[in-house]
Structure 1
Amino acid sequence: MKQRVLTAVIALIIFIPLVIIGGVPFEILSILLGLIGLSEIYIMRKKLLVSPEAGLGVLASLALMVPQGWLSFLPSTSTRYTLFYFFVLLLLVYTVFTRNRFSFDDAAVLTLGIIYTSVGFRFLISARETGISMIFYLLLTVWATDTGAYMVGRKFGKNKLAPHISPNKTWEGSIGGVIVALIVGIIFNLYFPQKFSLVPMIFISLILAVVAQLGDLVESALKRYYGVKDSGKILPGHGGILDRFDSLLFVLPFAHFMGLF
């Protein structure tokens, strides 16, 4: 428990100031987090981090994550998605040269992993570009959901939510997480109004709290499939980057789709 708390404190001491600073430092942090998250998928898949497929995966990931200004070398007819698809095609070509040692299935899993991690962290950058209150609203929504679900589930949880994927999660905890997220969202929007008025933001907070838990369950299903307890070991007591950002990787795209940023 002490290690878990210490890791959380150190991580927040590094993360929060960079969120406040924004700009290039935060962009670099987000890109690094995305690449680490991708490497965790490689490791779970039992793929080498130093290999041609890993190199192509990193390039494809960078194509999706880096700020648009970093891609000014591209022809006017091309976009980040064109560049991403080019590297995906190279992954498919690589299956030929390896005689299927690196298979189509491997390429498919890594491509989905790249989209899952890279687009999510790209939206993290976009949310911060929108404004500091926006990124903190989304972060607090995720943290409130996670904390509320844990505390309520620990005290009142009886009915399992998804025992085949995450045995410790309960319906009581899930509902508690949503309620805490709603309370935090209402208070935050009273002091720091977002793009929409309070009533729509209440509904948005409700949706994001549910989505945050779906993101958590998806990552739990991924770990269960590969037979691992944690996605990585970079955060002692907490696991890997995907373990900590799984909810946010779902919340950010949904927030974007709903027009928050």
Structure 2
Amino acid sequence: MLKTRLLTALVLVPLVFWGVLGLPNDRFSLVFGLVVLGGVWELANLCGLRAAPARLAVVLGMAGILWLLFDSRHAGWVMPFIQVLALAWAVNFLVLLSGAVVPRPRDGFRPLFLLMGLLALAGVWLALTRLHGMANHGPALMMFFLLLIWVADSGAYFAGRRFGRRKLAPHISPGKTIEGVVGALTGGLLCALVLAWLQWLPLSAGLLVLICVSTVLVSVGGDLWESVLKRERGMKDSGNILPGHGGVLDRIDSQIAAGPWFVAALSFAGVPL
């Protein structure tokens, strides 16, 4: 499994670097929009729409929404929306850790879950296209954000395998451990120190550490959120498009939560976005 994951990553990572660093903001928004639509296809299935025509209708509807949002992604209402969404993801993390949500098998269509998922996907699209379009170091900061999540995920994986003993949220995801989260936070700390050294942002090292570490924590909530949906549907992966990695949502679940938080945190710190 690890070998397959690494081979898939060797193909995907250069494409991601090229897309983030090589494309202008409008084309990046389009490509990232296609990724989001792949997530919508899988989300519709997780929410009970098994028939392909129904899922396609949801995807086409979301494509229309993203098209309408494209010219509005720098409008005045966008940043408050991202900030509210970031707060919602923080609350989501705390609720899922509390044990208040216990996944159980469910059948039938769940429109409320689908609506919430669509709002989340539209929100991360707005947040990350806004980040990528920053006047100073926008694409580089977008790439840093992705590396932050990747490093945190890797830290969680290896720390969990080596030291994992205490379960983080056994009612949702038995494989996740507190030690794994510590590994993820350590990765976030290291990334923050690198960002401070690069001096791309007029922020202190302490504030950058706070932003990066909190972003990693919120990203765990995104992972747990998708785990709830999959467990309630009896699915191991959201899809099978990426060998060794599962589906699109399996690859971007952390970013869905972390993207709005990272951008909102930068905005609260006074970074112009």
In structure 1, C-alpha distance between the alignment counterparts of 2:162 and 2:255, rounded to whole Å: 25
Please state whether the residue corresponding to 1:181 is helix, strand or coil. helix
In structure 1, C-alpha distance between the alignment counterparts of 2:245 and 2:174, rounded to whole Å: 18
1:32-71 map, 5 Å:
32-44=34-46, 45-51=48-54, 54-56=56-58, 58-64=60-66, 68-69=70-71
Give the aligned length. Answer: 229
Partner of 1:3: 4
The match for 1:129 among 119, 129, 133 is: 133
1:189 is displaced (CA, Å) by 2.3
Q: TM-score, normalised by structure 2?
A: 0.76
1:229 is displaced (CA, Å) by 0.3
Partner of 1:92: none
Please state whether the residue corresponding to 2:258 is helix, strand or coil. helix
AA paired with 2:236? K
AA paired with 1:38? V
1:1-261 map, 5 Å:
1-23=2-24, 24-44=26-46, 45-51=48-54, 54-56=56-58, 58-64=60-66, 68-69=70-71, 106-130=110-134, 131-258=138-265, 259=267, 261=273
Report if aligned partners of 2:155, 2:183 keep a CA contact under 8 Å in 1: yes
Q: Which has the higher contact order (CA 8 A, sep 6+)?
A: 2
1:249/1:56 CA distance change after superposition, 3 Å: closer
Report if aligned partners of 1:61, 1:115 keep a CA contact under 8 Å in 2: no
In structure 2, C-alpha distance between the alignment counterparts of 1:55 and 1:115, rounded to whole Å: 16
1:245 is displaced (CA, Å) by 0.6
AA paired with 1:148? G
1:108-157 residue CA offsets vs partner (Å, 9 max, x unmatched)? 23222211222212322111112122112211221121111111111111
Structure 1 unaligned segments of length 5 or more: list them: 72-78, 80-102
Q: Which has the larger radius of gyration?
A: 1
1:48 is displaced (CA, Å) by 2.3
In structure 1, C-alpha distance between the alignment counterparts of 2:254 and 2:218, rounded to whole Å: 7
Structure 2 unaligned segments of length 5 or more: list them: 79-107
1:193-230 residue CA offsets vs partner (Å, 9 max, x unmatched)? 32522221111112111111111111111111111000
In structure 1, C-alpha distance between the alignment counterparts of 2:225 and 2:110, rounded to whole Å: 19
In structure 1, C-alpha distance between the alignment counterparts of 2:237 and 2:67, rounded to whole Å: 24
1:171/1:68 CA distance change after superposition, 3 Å: same
1:46/1:109 CA distance change after superposition, 3 Å: same
In structure 2, C-alpha distance between the alignment counterparts of 1:114 and 1:47, rounded to whole Å: 17
Report if aligned partners of 2:19, 2:28 keep a CA contact under 8 Å in 1: yes
Identical aligned residues as a percent: 31
Report if aligned partners of 2:41, 2:59 keep a CA contact under 8 Å in 1: no
In structure 1, C-alpha distance between the alignment counterparts of 2:58 and 2:162, rounded to whole Å: 47
1:122/1:66 CA distance change after superposition, 3 Å: farther
Partner of 2:89: none
Bigger mean CA offset, 158-167 vs 108-117:
108-117
Please state whether the residue corresponding to 2:175 is helix, strand or coil. strand
1:70 is displaced (CA, Å) by 8.2
Please state whether the residue corresponding to 2:176 is helix, strand or coil. strand
